A and B are shown apart, each in its own frame.
Chain A
Amino acid sequence: MTDVQARIDPEFTGLPLRELADAALTQATALGAQHADFRAERIRSQYIGLSDANPQTLFDADDTGLAVRVIVDGTWGFASTVDLNPDAAAQAARQAVEVAKVAAAMNTEPIELAPEPGYGEVTWVSDYEVDPFTVTVADKVALLAAWSSSLLAHPAVSHVDASLNQVRECKFYSDGTTTATQQRVRLNPSVTAVAVTDDGRFDDMQTLAPPAGRGYEYLGGTGWDFAAELAELPELLAAKLAAPTVRPGRYDLVIDPSNLWLVIHESVGHATELDRALGYEAAYAGTSFATPDKLGTLRYGSEVMHVTGDRTTEHGLATIGYDDEGVAGQAWDLISGGTLVGYQLDRRMAQRCGFGRSNGCAFSDGPNHIPLQRMANVSLRPAPAGGPSLDDLIAGVDDGIYVAGDKSWSIDMQRYNFQFTGQRFFAIKNGRLAGQLRDVAYQATTTDFWGSMEAVGGPQTYLLGGAFNCGKGQPGQVAPVSHGCPAVLMRGVRILNTAQEGAS
C-alpha cells in the first residue's frame, strides 16, 4: 500500500468496493446499457455551533451509499441505495435501467459522452495535515469557546456566534476503464460578533477567514492568522456601528479578494457553465448571457481580466484528482484579456458542443444524486510580481470605497444584474482610508462591472476564497468551490444606501 492509499479512511477502503462495482456494471451491461458507471461514497461531516461561547448545535453525520448511472438507448437512467452489498448494487443497476426506460418517452436527444482515456487503478488524496475527525469534539468546542470568550470580553460585543463545519469525502468511481479511489478534507470556520445598542440598533461583523481544503492545522494558524483577525474584530465592529451612513451614487471601488471571490463566483463562475449557457438550468438556476455563439468574441471585461478554471489548485475546494465521470483534473482559460474563451464542461456537454474532451467538471454531492456539471475553482489572475499592492490601489482613488468580506449576494437568472454587500466598507479620500461607512450595497451589470476594472493587484494581494454551499440542479445539490483573486480597482460603480432602500 502506498502512503497515499494509507491516508484514506480504512472503513471506506475496507468496503467491498470492487465487488460492488463489478455486480452493478455486469448487471447494467447484461440489461443492454451502452454506458454504465458506478460510484460509492462515504461522507463524514460534523457541524459544531456555539452561541455566546456555549455549545448550541452539534451534528455528526456519516453518509454512505452507492450509485449506478447508465445510458440505455441514448437515455440516462440513475439509481442509488444505501445498502452496500452486491445484491443491492445489482438491484440499483436494474432500477437505473428501468428509470431510463420510463424516461425514454420524453427524451429526444441521444446521450453521448466525450471520450476520456482510461487511467486504470488510481488513488488521490487532497493536501492536508490533520484529519479533523481525529480531533475530539471537546477540543474543537474548547477552541471555539476560547475565541468567543475573547470577543465577548470587549464592551462593544453583545453576542458571538461561532461555528465549524468539517467534511471528509471519500469517493470510489469505476466505469470499467478507470477505477479511482479518492479522499479530500475541508473546513469552514466562522465567527460573528454582534453589537446591540441601547437605542435598538444592531450590527455584526464576521471573520473573513475563507473555507479551505485543509485539515485541522488551519485553525492553528496554517494558512490563516485567526488570532490576529479575532483581535481586531471588536474594534472594527464598534467603528462600524459608529460610522456614518453612505451617500448613494457612483464611486470608485477597491475590492478586497475576501469580497471579490463571490462576485467572480456569481458573475463569471456560473455564467461560464456550459449547461447553463445551453439552457439545461433554464427553469431553476437559470441560463447565461455568455452563450456559446459568443465564444471568442464576447467582451466580458477589461484587458486586465484573465480568468481560469481548474480542478487542481492546492487547497482548492473544487480540487480533485478525477471527476465523477473519470475525467482527470485540469486547468484552462475561461476569459483571456477580457474576452470569453472557454467554458466549464462535463462529458455530455463536451461531446454535444464539439469541445472534444471534458475539462472534468462533473460532480455529485453524494451517492444519492446524479453528477451534474458543477463549478471548478474559477480564479482571477493577479498582476505579475511587482504589481500593485493594496495601498497602491487605494492610492489611485480620490473619492471611493474599499470593500472587504462577503455578506449579502444576489444575481439574476442570466447573470447580468447583481447586488452585493460586505462585512466592512471604508471611505477612501485622496488615496487614503478615511474610516468606515454603513448601509452600503453595490449594484452592477456583469460586463459593465468587469469592464470598469482598471487594475488588478499583485500576487501579494491574492487570496483563495470560496464557499461550501454552492447550490444548483434539481433535486438540489450543494458543491464546495474556491475562487482565488487579487484586490482590484473598479471605476464608477453604483452604490446604494440599504437603509434608504428599506425605508417604507
Chain B
Amino acid sequence: MTPQQTVELALAAARGDGCVVIAEETSGANLRWADNTLTTNGVSRSRQLTVIAIDRRADGAAVGVVSRAGVRPEQVEELVREAEHEAGQGTPAEDAAELTGAGNHRSFCKNEDNGEERSGRPATTGASWDDNPSLTGIGVLRDFAVALGDTLRAARGAGRRLYGFAEHDMTSTFLGTSAGLRLRHDQPTGRVELNAKSDDLARSAWTAVATRDFTDVDIAGLADGLRERLGWARRSVELPPGRYETLLPPSAVSDMLVALYWAAGARDAAEGRTVFSKAGGGTRVGERLCELPVTLSSDPLAAGLGSAPFVIAHASGADSSVFDNGIALRPTSWIQDGSLAALVSSRHSAALAGLPVTPAIGNLTFATSAAGAPTLTEMIASTGRGLLLTSLWYIREVDPQTLLLTGLTRDGVYLVEGGEVVGAVNNFRFNESPVGMLGRMLEVGATVPTLPREWGDYFNRAAMPPVRVEGFNMSSVSQAN
C-alpha cells in the first residue's frame, strides 16, 4: 500500500470531529570511518504513520496522537480508533483551532513584508502527490565510497589519520486533513564530516559539508584543506583564558545562532522566561540586538537549503500545534537589520504573545546587507591580533536569562597576527551568549552554506558568514586536542 493510500484509508476511517494524517517514508544510508578505516555502516528503511484525532465538544477540542512504524493496511483503522479513543478521554487542548483545508492553507500567516504570493510548488524533488515516495540507498554513496577509499589510503601513506561520517537520508512526507488538504514534501538530508589528525594525535583539524545528493562532495578536496590546517598547527602557542577578539567561521556561527533560534519561542518569551522577554511583560520584538545591518532569516524555498514549505507537527508544544498542520510557511526574518523582528510561534502561541504567526522553518540564514562583505581569508588578512576558531562543541545553556551558553573550541584554534596565521593555540571552554555576541560583532563576512557541528544531527540546513567578535569569553583552558 502506498503512503498516499494509507492517508486516504485513515481519513476515510476517521469518525471524529477532525483528523490529520501524516504518512512518512524514510530511507537512509551511512558510512563511518576512524583511523583511516571503516568502522560502521548501514542502510535503513522505515515507514511511520501518525494519526491526530480531534474530539470537539462544548468546552473545546481534545486531541489524541498516535504514531506507529510499519503499519500494515489492516492496522490503519485500529490506529485511527486508538487516536480517537485518546481524544475522547482527553481534556480540551489550549491550542485548538480550525484545521487547514485545501482552500485556506495559504491564507494563514500572511507575511506583510512580502505580499508576493509564493508558488506552492513542492520543494526539492518536484514530485506531485501521486508520485512514488522518494528513496535513497547505499548506491548514493557508491562513488563517494571509492573516492573515500583512495583518500584514506593517501592519508595512511602520508602519516595522517582520518576520521569521519557520511550520511544520506530521504523522507517523503504525505500530509492529509479531514478538511481536504493533501500536501507532500520530499526532504533529502546529507552531510560529510571529516577530521584529520597528525600521526601522534597532537594536532587535529575538521571540516564538513551539507549535501542534498552527494554529487557535489569532493572528499579529496576536503582532505587537502585539512592538510593545510594541520600544517598551521606545526607551531603551537599556549594562551591563557580571557576575552579575545575572535574570528568565528560559518560553522561556529551557525551553532551559536541555531541555539538562539531554538530559544526564540514566542510563548516562553511572552511568559517572561527567556532572553527575549521584556521586563514587566511582553517581548523584545522590535529591539535592536546588533549595530550591524544583519538579518537572520528562514525561507523554505531558499536555494540549496529547501525545507518543508508547510507546517508538519506530529505533536503540539509551546510553539507548535497539531492544529497548524499544513499551514503554508513564508520567508521569515527573525532578526531584520539588527533588530529582533519575530519569534517562533504557532497560531496559539502567537495569539498569547500578541505577535504575527511565524512557525518554525527548517533552515537558517544569517547575512549582512552591507556591500562587499569579505571572505574569511580576507578577514584573516585584516586581523591585527586575534583567534581563529574551527568549530564549537558540547554547547549547553547555562543561564536562560542572558542565553549564556558554554562549550568548547574544537579541532583547531589558531592565533592570527599581522594578517597571518602564526600557530595553533590550546583549546578553550567558552561562556558566551549568542545575544551578547550580536552586540559585540565587529565585522560580518560573506554568507556561505555550512554545517552546524554541534547541532548538525538535528539542524542540517544553514548558510552563515564568518564573523569577527570583540571580547569572546574564553573562560578556561581545555587540555583536549
Q: Do A and B bind each other?
A: yes
Q: Identify the A interface with B (CB < 8 A).
A: 47, 49, 51, 54-65, 75-84, 95, 98-100, 102-109, 136-138, 141, 145, 158-159, 194, 196, 198-204, 279-284, 286, 289, 368-370, 372, 408-417, 419, 421, 439, 441, 443, 445, 471, 473-476, 494, 496, 498-499, 501-502, 504
Report the separation of the CA atoms of residues A221 and B378 in the bound assembly, to the nearest whole angstrom.
63
Q: Is B444 an interface residue (CB 8 A)?
A: no
Roughly how many angstroms separate A474 CA and B194 CA in the complex, as a whole number? Answer: 13
Which of B407, B436, B480 has the most chain A CB atoms closer than 10 A to its own CB?
A: B480
Interface presence of B414 (CB below 8 A): no
Docked pose: A76 CA to B37 CA in angstroms: 12
**B-side contacts of A77, CB under 8 Å:** 41
10 cross-chain CB contacts under 8 A: A56-B316, A58-B63, A102-B138, A105-B146, A202-B277, A280-B34, A496-B431, A502-B398, A502-B401, A504-B436
Chain B residues lying within 8 Å of A204, measured Cβ to Cβ, are: 273
A65, B46: Cβ atoms closer than 8 Å: yes
Closest 8 CB pairs of A and B: A200-B279, A82-B70, A502-B404, A283-B195, A78-B42, A196-B272, A283-B163, A414-B480
Question: Known interface pairs A65-B69, A194-B273, A202-B277. Does A417 touch B477 (Cβ–Cβ under 8 Å)?
Answer: yes
Say whether, besides A103-B41, A370-B40, A410-B395, A416 and B478 are in contact (CB < 8 Å).
Answer: yes
Question: Residue B91 at the A interface, CB < 8 A?
Answer: yes
Task: Name the CB-closest residue of A to B399.
Answer: A498
The minimal Cβ–Cβ distance linking B301 to chain A, given in whole angstroms, is: 27
Q: Are the CB atoms of B164 and A283 closer together than 8 Å?
A: yes
Are A443 and B429 within 8 A (Cβ)?
yes
How far does the Cβ of A504 sit from chain B's closest Cβ, in whole Å? 4
Interface of A is mostly: mixed
Any A CB within 8 A of the CB of B227: no
Residues 156-195 of B at the A interface (beta carbon under 8 Å): 156, 161, 163-165, 167, 193-195
Q: Which of chain B's residues have a CB closer than 8 A to the CB of A55?
A: 90-91, 93-94
A residues near B197, Cβ cutoff 8 Å: 282
Q: Are A58 and B90 in contact (CB under 8 A)?
A: yes
Cross-chain contact of B142 among A59, A102, A414 (Cβ < 8 A)? A102
Distance of A56 Cα from B67 Cα, bound (Å): 17
Q: Report the separation of the CA atoms of residues A82 and B410 in the bound assembly, to the nearest whole angstrom.
A: 38
Contact with A along B374-408 (1 / 0, CB 8 A): 00000000000000000001111111111010111
Interface residues of B in 48-103 (CB under 8 A from A): 63-70, 82, 86, 89-91, 93-95
B8 within 8 A of A: no
Contact between B45 and A279, CB atoms less than 8 A apart: no
Chain B minimum-CB-distance residue to A56: B316
Contact yes or no, B315 A58, CB < 8 A: yes
Known: A80-B45, A105-B146, A107-B38. A47 touches B315 (CB 8 A): yes
A137 adjacent to B90 (CB under 8 Å): yes
- A76-B38, A105-B149, A202-B272 known; A408-B406 Cβ under 8 A: yes
Given contact pairs A82-B69, A501-B398, A501-B475, A419 touches B206 in the complex (Cβ within 8 A): no
How far apart are the CA atoms of A141 and B87 in the complex, in Å?
13
Q: Is the CB of B394 within 8 A of A64?
A: no
B370 contacts chain A at the CB level, 8 A cutoff: no
Give the interface size class of chain B.
35 or more
The one of B38, B41, B70, B479 that contacts A414, using a Cβ cutoff of 8 Å: B479
Which of A82, A100, A368, A409 has the most chain B CB atoms inside 10 A of its CB?
A82
Question: Does A56 lie within 8 Å of B94, measured CB to CB?
Answer: yes
Most buried by A among B195, B197, B272, B318: B272
Residues of B within 8 A of A498 (CB): 398-399, 404, 431
Contacts of B431 in A (CB 8 A): 419, 496, 498, 501-502
Chain A residue numbers with a CB within 8 Å of B63 are 58
- What are the residues of chain A within 8 A of B163 when measuring CB–CB? 279, 282-283
Q: How far is the CB of A59 from chain B (nearest CB, A)?
A: 4
Judge whether B39 is part of the interface by a CB distance below 8 angstroms.
yes
- Inter-subunit contact A78/B41 (CB<8 Å): yes
What residues of chain A lie closer than 8 Å to B394, measured between beta carbons?
410-413
| A51 and B70 alpha carbons, distance in the complex (Å) | 32
Give the distance to chain B from A33, nearest Cβ to Cβ, in Å.
Answer: 14
Nearest-CB residue, chain A, relative to B429: A417
Contact code string B463-481 (vs A, CB < 8 Å = 1, else 0): 0000000010101111111
Q: How far is the CB of A3 from chain B (nearest CB, A)?
A: 28
Is B315 a contact partner of A103 (Cβ separation < 8 A)?
no
Q: How far is the CB of B277 from chain A (nearest CB, A)?
A: 7
A202 to B275, CA, bound (A): 10
Q: Does B200 contact A (CB under 8 A)?
A: no
Q: Are B38 and A103 in contact (CB under 8 A)?
A: yes
Q: What is the CB-to-nearest-CB distance from B412 to chain A, in angstroms, rounded to a whole number?
A: 12
- Residues from chain A with Cβ under 8 Å of B39 in the complex: 76, 280
Cβ–Cβ contact B38 & A202, under 8 A: no
Kindly report which residue of chain B lies nearest to residue A418, judged by CB atoms: B429
> B65: which A residues are within 8 A, CB to CB?
58-60
**Nearest-Cβ distance from residue A179 to partner chain B, whole angstroms:** 22
Given contacts A82-B46, A409-B396, A411-B394, contact A417 B318 (CB under 8 A): no
In the complex, what's the smallest C-beta–C-beta distance from B344 to chain A, in angstroms? 15
CB-defined contacts of B315 to chain A, threshold 8 Å? 47, 57-59
In the bound complex, do residue B316 and residue A57 qualify as a contact, i.e. CB atoms below 8 Å apart?
Answer: yes
Residues of A contacting B29 in the complex (Cβ-Cβ under 8 angstroms): 99
A441 and B167: CB pair below 8 A? no
Closest to B272 in A: A196
Instruction: Please tell me if the beta carbons of A417 and B90 are within 8 angstroms of each other in the complex.
Output: no
Known: A289-B479, A417-B477, A499-B402. 17 other contacts (CB 8 A): A51-B94, A60-B86, A62-B67, A81-B44, A99-B42, A107-B37, A138-B90, A158-B271, A196-B272, A279-B163, A282-B35, A283-B165, A283-B193, A372-B40, A408-B396, A413-B394, A474-B165
Provided the pairs A47-B315, A416-B478 are in contact, do residues A410 and B401 lie with their beta carbons within 8 angstroms? Answer: no
Asked whether A439 lies within 8 Å of B399 as measured between CB atoms, the reply is yes
Contact check, B43 vs A99: say whether CB atoms are below 8 A apart.
Answer: yes
Tell me if B148 counts as interface (CB < 8 A to partner A).
yes
Closest Cβ neighbor of A91 among chain B residues: B45
- A84 closest partner in B (C-beta): B70
> B212 within 8 Å of A by Cβ?
no
Cα-based distance from A59 to B400 in the complex (angstroms): 27
